[in-house]
Structures are given as C-alpha cells and as structure tokens.
Chains A and B, each alone.
Chain A
C-alpha cells in the first residue's frame, strides 16, 4: 500500500515539476512510527512564479532554495502573525481593544518574506496595517497585544495604540495614508548620508498608491539614488474601493515610471523573499530605488468596523483561503517534499497558540498606564515642563526620560 502511494506521489511530483528526488509520503497516509530528523530532506528547490518586470532586463530567479530550518522559521513567523491577529480580532469583539484595528491575516507572506531577505540593521516603515511588521521587526507578541489593549506594558506604554508601534529600525505604524512614504525615503537618505550600506523598505497599500506625496518621493529617491525599496502591498481593496475603481492604472509596479519595478506573488513567501533579495541587491549596488508590487489579500475587512463583504463576495474570500493561503502553501510544500512532519507543524501550532494565549493574558491583566504618565514624552531629552490640564487649576507635569 505504502509503495503504491509512494509511486503515485512520485508520479505526481514529476508532473508538477517538484523535486522528484525527494522521498514522498502522501499526506493521507498515517505515519505510525515517528520519524527522526535524519529522515527529513534538509533542503529543496521550488519553482516560484515569474515576476512581471518594468524597466528591468532581468528579474528575481525562478527557483528558490529552502532549507528545513528556514521553512520552519517562516512557518512559525507567519503562523504567529496569523494567530496574533486572530486573537486581536477576538479581543476587539470583546471590546478589550478599541478604536482602530487593521488586521493583517492573509498577508503574512509579505512580512515574513521581506524580513527573511533584509538585515536587522536595515530599516522598515509601513502604514497602519502594521502588527505583522511590528512582530517581524522584533517586538514581542506580548508588547504588541498590550499596546492594542492600551496597557503600560505595551511597546509604546499604551500611548500609541494599533497604528503607532515602534522598534529600533522600525518606524511604525503610521496613520496618515501615504505619509510614511516620504518618511521612508528620508530614512533611506540617512542611510546614504551615513554610508552604512543599509537600506529602507517603505511599504504602502494600493489605496495609498494614488497619493501625490508618493510621486514626490519617487522623484527625489530616483534623482538622488536613495537606497529605498518601495513596496506596494496590493490587497485589491483600498478600504471598500476596489483597485479598478480607484486607479487609472492598476499596474502599481509601473507607477514609479522611471523607477524599475517588479510585480510579485505576495502569497508565496519564497517569491517575496527572492524578489526582496533582488531589490535589496539593486539598492545596495547604488542603482537607486526600486518598486515592488506584492499581490496579496486580506481576509478581514479594512478594519474591525468593516465586515469586508459589502464590496467583495464571500466566495472570493473563501477561494483565496483554499487556494492561496500563504501558510498552507508553505506547509504543503514542505510536507510533500518531506521536509517536516505533520506532527512537527502541529507542535509549532500548539506552541504558538500557547504563546499568543499567554500574551493575551498579559494584555488583558496588565494595568493601564498611570495617570502621571498622561503628559510625559511630549518632548525627548527635555527638562520637565508644566502642561495645562482641562481647566486652569489643573497643572500637569511632563517629563521626558531619554
């Protein structure tokens, strides 16, 4: 029976062009004996979708190598972001998170793929759908959820909320659509100025792609050859407006005109990784900025107040979930190439669930910031100052610790 399955699997492998050399185990077959690590394929090469190119002779490679360790790491990253966002959804519905909450589930491959190809010393800035990047840039789940619940243990001590989380070399989290793009170009200017071989990844959405300040940024970035990777996360809808209704040209990778561009399958973490590596090399070699359009999808509505089904069909959402989910795709690839076992993935899932649960526990039990904190940090490195309260007798104090 097993041999038959193996033969069929191998045949299928050959047909789909997968690595035929790998041992395969059909996902349907139950593995009775636990496998040792020596049984797993340490590395495999996968075909990835060809990127559409704009003003480029060559693009990212058509194959991506993936080691077992990398695969498990990408899986863990994406699954963590997924579960964290779903937890945020839950907390929001319980009214423990309030205000704006823009969730990233569905788009995990973008954050994971980008982080896999840049250095921690590189810089990254994005808009308000920022929880995934906040995590990949190094902030703990605990500090993210506690910021969403507005507690003092949050990464911004509860002062910022969903859209204003920061970390070294991560500049948020920006609420004004498009404003982060000139900021990102400025960070790239600083990299160039300081001659440190670092670059800045500047993200924006299909909605922001029509902002004038983007084109001002493109012009200056190209003029001065700033080491900036502009990335449009095209999830097909700017709030409730589909790309066709918002943009005269939906070829966002071409919108930089004189700036070279690539259009990338944003649901495939390997595709994103290879494209970002290509883009990073382009920037670091002094060629100036480059644009990437990541074609991706968000399962949730624009924000928690948007059910997300008035401007798109449930069928569409379901189709993406079944056919293009980034986490499932990676898992499927690894399993069918015998790079990991179902149990291993299950263990990772259980561990992540536990971590997210603990973080949520913290986020719901940690106290809110003390009232003394109200006026602090108006300025950085500043002597204490007095701040007027709501009435003339209310004289509050503002300190700024470095």
Chain B
C-alpha cells in the first residue's frame, strides 16, 4: 500500500493534485527534452510575439514551414506580413532585409544554407557590418542572418562549407555558433535583441537532436549573452575548445578518455566573434594543454585564430606543448560516404590528437 502510494507520488505533481484537489491540469515546469529545431522555433516565436518589428524572411520559411522545418507553424500564427517567402534571390532579399533593418525593423534573414549566403555576402559585409562604423553611429543595422552552416550528410562540395572563419574575420559583425538547444534558443533571442548584425550559424545535423533544457531555459526571457563561452565539462589535463556540432564530439571523446585517466575540460565557444579568449586562457592556465576542434578547413580558420590569440596572451607561458588543431580536411567535400566520413574530424581523431598533445 505504502509502496504503491509512493509510486503514485513519484509519478509527479499531476498525480498528487488528482488525488488531493480538483484543479486545472498544469504541466509542471521541469527540465524537458527539446530538439534544437524546436528551440530555434521557440526563440523566433517568442521574439516575434515580443516585438512587432521582428519579422522573418527567406526561401520557404512561410508556407513550406521552413526548408528544415525550423519555422514550422510561424506563418500560420503570424501571417504574410511577419513571415515572408522570398524568391530565390539571395543578394536581393539579403539587401532588402538590411534596408528594412536600416529603416527601423528587426529582420531575421534566413539563408537556406550559408553556402548561398556567398551570393549575398556583399550585403552582409558592406551594407550591414560596416555601416554603423562608417556612419559614426548614426545608422544601426539590427539584423540577424541565420541558417545551417557547415557539413551536412552527402550534400557534397557546394553545400558543405563552413563560413565561421569567413564571417568572423570582419569587424562590425557578431558571429554566433550554438551547439545544443539551450545555446540555440538563448543565443538566437540575444541575436534578435541585439542592435547589430549577427551571423547565426546553425547546424543541420543538430536540428533533430534533443537536448535537455532547464526550466530556466524554457522561459520567455531566457537569453544567453553573446561573447561568452561555456565550460561544458570540467577537466584538468587538457582543454578542448570547439563550437557547434563538434562540442558534442569533444564530450564523447572526453567520455572515452576519462576511462584512461585523462580528464578533458571541454569549452563550448558559443560565440566565434567576439571570441571569449579569456575563458580559453583561464582553462589553459589550469590544464597546460590545448586542442581546438572544428569542422571547417584548417587554413585561416577558427583554430588558427585561437592559436594566434593564445600566443599573444598571458596563457602562452602555461603551454606544455604547442596548441593542436583538429579540423576538416583541406579539400572540397567529397560525396561518397567513406570519403565524406574521412573529410571531417571523428571522435578517434580528437582522442588521437589529445594523446599526441599530452605525449601519451
């Protein structure tokens, strides 16, 4: 009797309410499993509701519910004025979005993938990023450019490029690269509320992945500050720095390495520009070893920048070995699965690199 009662109670507040009083069914605010897609959707939904100047434009974002269903349900809720399907005219509609931002609106401009943003890159850099500076602060451009970035699965060379390094090179832009659902929601909300151009790099392969979202993260006012990295896992022997999908790979590698007595500290950059170098340095000063992990190409990339910054800063003297970069292979992305698999970092590559860095 006691056991079954306890069982009943354990099954949640709902059950107790049903026993005790009659009241409306309320779902309790507890941590929930939310996919990255849904987290992004929530972020946009909440910001569209909060500020009527916010609107979304891009290919298939409205009636198709989004090429990757990220904007599912938004057109139905907000209509043609706030959710706008565009023709296939990246340069044109990116420019239109920037113009709208200059004239007082807060557009979210979706690129179906960031590969197509190359056609519009002049508008992102010359019209959006540089304008606040050129006008000495007279003209703000509160715009978010978002969409999937980097490799997907089997989409080959023209659809697999990572643009983190390209955009992060330019002053006047903020470049954000979330990993999990909390990152996705909190950072997208911050990006939309920011009065400056933000390039928001999502990852198509993460859209369907569920992550736990805390109670706090589910609230309508939950934001994550742009420019601050997060230590996802504490460690003592080596610091792994990554962004987007590869944060997950780093955690997986750490799980394997811990069995061998190697404790990895995993840092999720969250923001590429401005980069939170201080967090990396603080960690490095503790572990003395640094490995960067990214999906993009090695030359002039995110890892290259981290290396340079570490060399220029106080943490250099704490290095017991040179920084190691784990990156995508320096080739256009091939199609055949076996080749594609070997074009990107695998968990075993991270493990191998950590051991080499630690000289074990």
Contact = CB atoms under 8 A, between A and B. Distances in A.
A42 interface: no
A7 interface: no
A183 interface: yes
A320 B77 CA distance: 59
A166 B96 contact: no
A316 to B, nearest CB: 34
A167 B138 CA distance: 8
A28 interface: no
Contacts of B100: 186-187, 189-190, 193
Chain B interface size band reads: 35 or more
A174 interface: yes
A193 B57 CA distance: 13
Nearest to A212: B91
B278 to A, nearest CB: 10
B103 interface: yes
Interface stretch (B12-20, B125-133, B183-191, B324-332): B125-133
Contact of A220 (B81, B86, B123, B313): B86
B92 A213 contact: yes
Interface string B86-113: 1101011111111111111100000000
Interface in B29-48: none
Interface in B116-142: 122-123, 126-127, 132-142
Interface in A209-251: 212-213, 216-217, 219-220, 223-224
Contacts of A377: 132-133, 135-137
A185 B87 contact: no
A182 interface: yes
A183 B120 CA distance: 12
Interface in B263-297: 274
Most chain B CB neighbours (cut-off 10 Å) among A174, A379, A381: A379
B105 A220 contact: no
B55 to A, nearest CB: 7
A125 B89 CA distance: 21
A124 B261 CA distance: 66
A392 B161 CA distance: 31
A131 interface: no
Interface stretch (A107-115, A156-164, A255-263, A337-345): A156-164
A182 B96 contact: yes
B252 interface: no
B92 A182 contact: yes
A182 B274 contact: no
A5 B99 CA distance: 57
B103 A166 contact: no
Contacts of B105: 189-190, 193-194
Contacts of B101: 186
Contact of B126 (A176, A189, A193, A380): A176
A131 to B, nearest CB: 16
Interface string A143-183: 00000000000011111100010110001101110010111
13 contacts: A166-B135, A176-B126, A186-B96, A186-B97, A186-B99, A186-B101, A186-B102, A193-B105, A194-B105, A220-B89, A220-B92, A377-B133, A379-B195
Closest 3 CB pairs of A and B: A186-B99, A182-B95, A216-B92
Interface of B: 55, 81, 84, 86-87, 89, 91-105, 122-123, 126-127, 132-142, 171-172, 174, 195-196, 274, 312-313
Interface of A: 123, 125, 155-160, 164, 166-167, 171-172, 174-176, 179, 181-191, 193-194, 200, 212-213, 216-217, 219-220, 223-224, 376-382, 385, 387, 392, 400-402
